[in-house]
Structure 1
Amino acid sequence: MAEAAKTLTGRCLCGAVTLTVQSEIPRLRACHCDMCRQHTSGMFISVDTVPGTLEVRGPAQSFASSEWAERGFCGTCGSTLWYGTVHDGMRHPAAGLFDAADLGEMTLEFFADECPQGYALAGEHRKLSTEETIAMFTEDDA
């Protein structure tokens, strides 16, 4: 039997943007690509959510960072809000926005071969290389 979805609420650093989302199992995902590192000064960590349940209120803005992705941020304080995929319209919210300390375990790393030597994530989880990550996001285009 599937778990009931849990409501997660979060906010940016200044509180001008608030987010509400549903998550059945709040698994974490990390991305080490150069754009995520530039945007966040480290890896970007998102929380897995139920598609179509993200509600954003406040001065949120987005930046088209590539042909297949956008990055959301607060127009007031600049906090990173989400990573979005253009092909399916999904927005993957930043895990750090949510007060819930029990968001779940790390389940997937994108661009794992680009992870700086200064840090690495512990635990056993799936780690996709640059080639595997790009294939995952472009397989629908073939």
Structure 2
Amino acid sequence: MSSTQIEGQCLCGEIKAKATMTKPMLRACHCDMCRSHTSSMFMSLGIDKGSLSFEGPVKTYRSSEWAERGFCDTCGSTLFYGTVEDGNRHPSAGLFEKAADAELKLEFFADEAPGYALAGTHRKMTAKETIALFAPETGENQ
């Protein structure tokens, strides 16, 4: 399977993003922090691990013991959600035109979605399953 180079930018254009993608995938997270950060679910794009790079005034906020969130220092656009332990960053789908034509494949904290459901037959992980995947030692703090 070949990889595709994708490029995008934040709302104001101050930050440029580049990554490669072998298996196009959109993911949605409904956890309390993602909803607080974005006013909705956070939609991320599945990219090749370690391929994401940014140019511009990226700021980060350590949102929990095991996670950080990136944003543009100029316009405030959400750039990524990242796990601190492994340095893996999951870019905001909104940075890339038409979300790089990826399809929704996975929802995190699906059992915490506030009164809405996303259509489709994609995988829907509960809060317990999501925490076990990303932070098995830290419990429920996201």
TM-score (norm 2): 0.92
Aligned runs of 1:1-142 on 2, under 5 Å? 3-117=1-115, 119-139=116-136
Does structure 1 retain, via aligned residues, the 8 Å contact 2:93–2:99? no
Query: In the TM superposition, what is the alpha-carbon distance from 1:84 to its structure 2 partner?
Result: 0.3
Report SS of the residue matched to 1:62: strand
Offset of residue 116 of structure 1: 1.1
Q: What is the CA RMSD across the aligned residues, in angstroms?
A: 1.4
Question: Aligned to 2:17, what secondary structure does the other structure show?
Answer: strand
Structure 2 residues not aligned, in runs of 5+: none
TM-score (norm 1): 0.92
Structure 1 residues 93 and 101: alpha-carbon distance in aligned structure 2, compared to 1, 3 A threshold: closer
How many residue pairs get aligned? The number is 138
Q: Percent identity?
A: 57
Matched residues in 2 for 1:102 and 1:135: separation?
29
Moved segments of 4+, more than 2 Å: 100-103, 138-141
In 2: Cα distance, 1:124 partner to 1:104 partner: 15
Unaligned runs of 5+ in 1: none
> Partners in 1 of 2:126 and 2:99 — Cα distance?
28
